Amino acid sequence: MPADTRPEPPPETIDRSRRRLLGATAATVAVAELGRIGVARAETGASAAGTMPGTLKQVEAGMLDVGYVEAGPADGPAVILLHGWPYDIHAFAEVVPILTAAGHRVIVPHLRGYGTTRFLAKDAIRNGEQAALAVDVIALMDALGIPRAVLGGFDWGARTACIVAALWPDRCDALVSVSGYLIGSQEAGKAPLPPKAELSWWYQFYFATSRGRAGYEAYRDAFARLIWQSASPRWAFDDATFARSARSFDNPDHVAIVIHNYRWRLGLAEGEPRYEALEERLARAPEIAVPTITLEGDANGAPHPEPATYAGKFTGRYAHRPITGGIGHNLPQEAPHAFAQAVIDAASA
């Protein structure tokens, strides 16, 4: 991969102070002792378009030292926003100030393999399976002392939010999911699709090869840009917008997590025994009973299910909102007001 010429945050913006938190996670695989590291950025509060508002922090949660942005009143109802691949927390840059203005405490974490999130153990398996990412969210909530939250996301983030809502409904006040019900299983991933549908998953098959892993390692920024363009063909993002998110892909675990995620889906990579019981539950496609709003852009170029195929999986108060105007796969960044309004409405359901 070419040498990185992107600037690092100035060192004087980092506060290395630490305080300890204790908590027991509701997930069966989280650790008991949790810590917190505060890392404050120079920019706090809403700023230029595309710049992430809030305060960038670190907290030890479960297996990870999680990098996350926090904004809004500390005593406000919590909202956790989860990004997808190949995106990062900046997908919610314009969503966050809308939610904080409505009184919400907003948490936007870097998923494992992105940004400043790191594994605590050097020998930890760089596992990208769906249950692992969901357990990460529960561990984060425990570390931050958040008993319940509204969860919202797209792509990997939507799948993760759906899993938390399905398996831990007592931790989820409401759900906002772009492209609806995305919980899957290895068995389902093995089933062949019609050729045209398979073509849309080309990168999944590419990642199944050693050449694909090497190619993603060498060209991850170019790869991500191609996915952005194909998944959101009418989104006219500029170089600065892409560069802000591309910094997150320089995480040392990024390639391993991405490759494992897609290989696991096809049954080409094993998960961890600690998640087997959760994956067995997810393989049965559990229903989601919490209040839910699903969204879909009218120009989503990424593979996604039709709303009619998943509406029945939501058994609580439910609404689907099609978003028009050439909106693609990265709906929170392309239509931030529509996404934020869905969160506000779901929270008040």
Peptide bond into 86 cis (omega under 30): yes
Task: Tell me what pLDDT residue 26 has.
Answer: 35
Task: Tell me what pLDDT residue 298 has.
Answer: 98
CA distance to 17, 54, 209, 327, per residue, from 303 (Å): 44, 32, 21, 14
Helix ranges restricted to H, the chain: 96-101, 130-143, 156-167, 186-190, 195-199, 202-207, 210-218, 220-231, 239-246, 254-265, 276-283, 307-310, 331-334, 336-347
Task: Tell me what pLDDT residue 50 has.
Answer: 67
Tell me the C-alpha distance between 225 and 133, whole Å: 24
H or E segment at 322? strand 318-323
Neighbours of 343 (CB within 10 A): 26
H or E segment at 21? strand 18-22
Tell me the C-alpha distance between 168 and 153, whole Å: 16
Of how many residues is the chain composed?
Answer: 349
Q: Could you give the angle at which helices 276-283 and 130-143 cross, rounded to 10 degrees?
A: 110
What letter represents residue 309's amino acid? T
**pLDDT per residue rounded down to tens, the chain (349 residues):** 333 333 333 322 323 223 233 333 333 333 222 222 233 222 233 334 568 998 899 999 999 999 999 999 999 999 999 999 999 999 999 999 999 999 999 999 999 999 999 999 999 999 999 999 999 999 999 999 999 999 999 999 999 999 999 999 999 999 999 999 999 999 998 899 999 999 999 999 999 999 999 999 999 999 999 999 999 999 999 999 999 999 999 999 999 999 999 999 999 999 999 999 999 999 999 999 999 999 999 999 999 999 999 999 999 999 999 999 999 999 999 999 999 999 999 999 8
How would DSSP label each residue in 96-112? HHHHHHTT-EEEEEPPT
Dihedral through CA 61, CA 265, CA 339, CA 223, nearest 10? 100
Find, among 349, 5, 85, 303, the residue nearest to 179 by Cα: 303
C-alpha radius of gyration, the chain, whole number? 19
CA distance to 84, 224, 242, per residue, from 248 (Å): 12, 11, 11
pTM equals 0.87
**Three-class SS state of 77:** coil
**Three-class SS state of 295:** strand
Residue 332 φ/ψ, nearest 5 degrees: -60, -35
Per DSSP, 249 falls in state G
Tell me the C-alpha distance between 218 and 170, whole Å: 42
Task: Tell me what pLDDT residue 54 has.
Answer: 86
Residue 101 φ/ψ, nearest 5 degrees: -65, -25
